[in-house]
A and B are shown apart, each in its own frame.
Chain A
Amino acid sequence: MSTAILPSAAAAEMSATAPLTLPNPARSVRGVLPGFGLSLGFALSYLSLLVLIPLAALFLRAAGLGIEGIWQELTSARVLHALGLSFGGALAAAAINTVFGALIAWTFVRYDFAGKKLFHAMIDLPFALPTAVAGIALTALYSEHGWLGAPLAQFGIHVAYTPLGIIVAMVFISLPFVVRTLEPVLEEAEQQLEEAAATLGATRRQTITYVIFPTVAPALLTGAALAFARAVGEYGSIIFIAGNLQNVSEIAPLLIMIRLDEFNYGGATAIAAAMLVISFAILFGINLLQAWSRRHA
C-alpha cells in the first residue's frame, strides 16, 4: 500500500502518486470498501444501547402491570382526558398546518413578492427555537395583557390557559413539517401537465383539483403525519400556555411527568406505552395508506 500523501480529494489524481494494486479478493464479497463490520456493528450497538433497549424496558415494565393493571390505569377519567387532549389537539394542529402549510408552500414556490427570502428563512424557526422559549413567548403573547391576547379577549376568545392555547403551541411547533415536505414536490411538479390541462380547456380550479392536488397529496399526507407525531408528544412549548388544569388542559406527557414525580412508575409506564402504541399505529396506518395510494396512482 502506498504511503504517498494524497494531493487532493479527487481519486483520479492518485493514479500519478500511487501504484496500482488489485482489490483484495477476500473483501470483494461486499464490494471493495472496508469498514462494513465496524460501522454496522457500532451503529447497531449504539442504537440498541441508547434507543432500543430503553424502549424495550418500558414495554417490559408495562407488560409487568398485566392487561388488567394497564386497563385500570388508562381508564381513569383523568388519563382518558389527557390522552384525548394530546391526540385530539395534535389532530387539530396537523389539520390547521396541512391547510396553511400547503398554502404557504404554494405561495413560496409559485409567487414572487417583497421579503420572500426573509420570510422563507424563518419557516424553520420552530425547529431552531428551544421549546421552552417558544412556550413562554406564546404565553406572554396570548395572555390577557398580551399583544394578541388582549384584542382577542375583547371578543371573548381566551387562548392562554385554555385547550385553545395547547393547539396554538402545537401549530407553532409542527408548522415547518408540511411546508418543508411539500415545497420540493411542488418545485418538481411538471408544469407541462398544467399547460396540457389548460390547453384541453380545464379551468384553473379544475387543473388544481385534478392535476396538481393528486401529485402533491402523498407529500401532504407525509407532512401531516410528521406534524401530528411531533405535536402528540410535545411538552415544552405547551405546559406554559396550557394552564394545566386537571380534566381541562392537562396533556398526556404532563400527566406522565406528574406520575413520575409521585413515584407511580406503573401509572407513568401505562400512559407512555399507550401513547407509543397509538402513535406507532397511526404512523403505520399512514404508511399503508401511502403504499396503497402509490399502487392506485
Chain B
Amino acid sequence: MHEPASVRRYDNALIEPAPVRWLLIVVTLAFLAVFLLLPLVTVFVQALRNGVSTYFSALTDADTLASIRLTLVTAAIAVPLNTMFGVAAAWAIAKFEFRGKNLLTTLIDLPFSVSPVIAGMVFVLLFGSRGWFGPWLSEHDVKVIFALPGIVLATTFVTFPFVARELIPLMQAQGTEEEQAAMTLGAGGLRTFWHVTMPNIRWGLLYGVLLCNARAMGEFGAVSVVSGHIRGMTNTMPLQVEAMYNDPGEYSAAFAVSSLLALLGFVTLALKNFLEWRHGSELAALRGRG
C-alpha cells in the first residue's frame, strides 16, 4: 500500500504497534509450522528412514499396487458421477426459480455434517448381510458390502457436495443472460451449454472436481465401514496404510504408501492455489465458502 505521507501520520491509530504485529506473525507461523508443516515432513522422514530401497519395495508390494488400483477405480466412478450431479443441480438451482430451492441447496450440503462412519454405515444397514436388501442380494449372489460397489457408494456419499457447492454460487453469480441470448439467436440447449455456459464455469468445475477427487482418493472412515479390510482385495490406499501401520514390521512401509497420498494432497494444493491465482476473478463467487 502506498499512501500519501499525510495519511501515514494516522497509521498508529489504524494499525497495531510493531511489537503486536510481530507477535501475531510469529504466533501464526509457529502455529502453522507445528500443525501443518511438521506432520507433512514427518510422513516423508518416516517413509525414508529405512532407506530408499525399502521405500520402493513398499510401493511395489503386490497388496499396495492392488490398493492403488482400487483407489483409482473408485475415484474414476465416484468423481464423474458427482460431477454430473453437480452440473445438473447447479443448472437447475442457478438458472431457474422454483419452490423449495433453499431446501435443496441445504440438503446438498448434508453429507458434510454426517460423520464418515455413519455415511458408510447407512449402506451396511441397506445392503449388509443383515441389512434390508441383504437376504435378497445374497440370494442373487450380488456383493455390495465388502466389495467394490459398497466402496464406491460410500465414497460417492462423502464426496457428494463438492462439485455442486462450487458451481452453484458461481452459476448464480453469472445469471442467465448469456444463455438466453444464445437461445434467442437460435442455438439449441446442448450447444448453449457447451459453448456458452461451459467456458464460464470450467475453472470452477475443475476446482470442484479437484477437491472431490482428493477426498475420494483419501476417504478413510466411510470406506473402512464397508470394505471388509481384505488385503490385496478390498483395501483402498488409506486402508492399506492402516493395515501396514498396524503391522509392526511394516511401520515404515505405511509411511511410504502415505507419502504417495501426501503427494496427491500436495498436487491438489498446488493446482488449487494455481487456479485461485490464475483464475481468481472467475472464481470470485466461491470465496468465503469453506
Q: Which chain A residues have a beta carbon within 8 Å of chain B's beta carbons?
A: 1-2, 6, 8-9, 11-12, 14-15, 18-23, 30-36, 38-40, 42-44, 46-47, 50-52, 54-55, 57-58, 61, 100, 103-104, 106-108, 110-111, 113, 115, 119, 121-134, 136-138, 140-141, 146-148, 171-172, 175-177, 180-181, 183-185, 191, 194-195, 198-199, 202-204, 207, 219, 222-223, 226, 229-230, 232-236, 240, 252-254, 256-257, 260, 263, 265, 268-269, 272, 275-276, 279-280, 283
The residues of B that contact A14 with a CB separation of less than 8 Å are 182, 185-187
The contact of A233 among B113, B124, B125, B179, by CB within 8 Å, is B113
Give the docked Cα–Cα distance between A242 and B160 (Å): 28
Tell whether B43 is near chain A: CB-to-CB under 8 Å.
yes
Q: Is B89 on the interface with A (CB-CB < 8 A)?
A: yes
24 contacts between A and B (CB under 8 A): A6-B195, A8-B195, A31-B96, A33-B183, A39-B89, A54-B157, A127-B215, A128-B269, A132-B241, A133-B218, A136-B241, A140-B255, A141-B42, A148-B38, A180-B290, A195-B14, A230-B112, A233-B118, A235-B220, A236-B224, A236-B238, A240-B245, A272-B121, A275-B115
Closest 4 CB pairs of A and B: A233-B115, A130-B218, A236-B220, A198-B13
Q: Are B43 and A137 in contact (CB under 8 A)?
A: yes
The answer, yes or no, to whether B273 is at the interface (CB within 8 Å) is yes
B176 touches A11 (CB 8 A): no
Would you give the 0/1 interface string for B4-17, flagging 1 where the beta carbon is closer than 8 Å to chain A?
00000010111111
Contact B28 A121 (CB under 8 A): no
B262 touches A133 (CB 8 A): yes
Least CB distance, A73 to chain B, in whole angstroms: 14
Complex interface: chain B residues within 8 A of A191 (CB): 14
CB-defined contacts of A194 to chain B, threshold 8 Å: 14
Q: In terms of DSSP, what is the predominant structure of the interface of chain A?
A: helix
Task: Name the residue on B nearest A110 (C-beta).
Answer: B15
Q: Does B136 contact A (CB under 8 A)?
A: no
CA gap between A130 and B43 in the complex, in Å: 12
Q: Are A9 and B24 in contact (CB under 8 A)?
A: no
B52 cross-chain contacts in A, Cβ below 8 A: none
Partner of B125, one of A2, A15, A30, A265: A265
The residue of chain A having its C-beta at the shortest distance from the C-beta of B98 within the complex is A40
- CB of A223 to closest CB in B, whole Å: 7
Q: Which residues of B contact A20 (CB under 8 A)?
A: 184-186
Q: Which residue of B lies closest to A13 (CB)?
A: B185
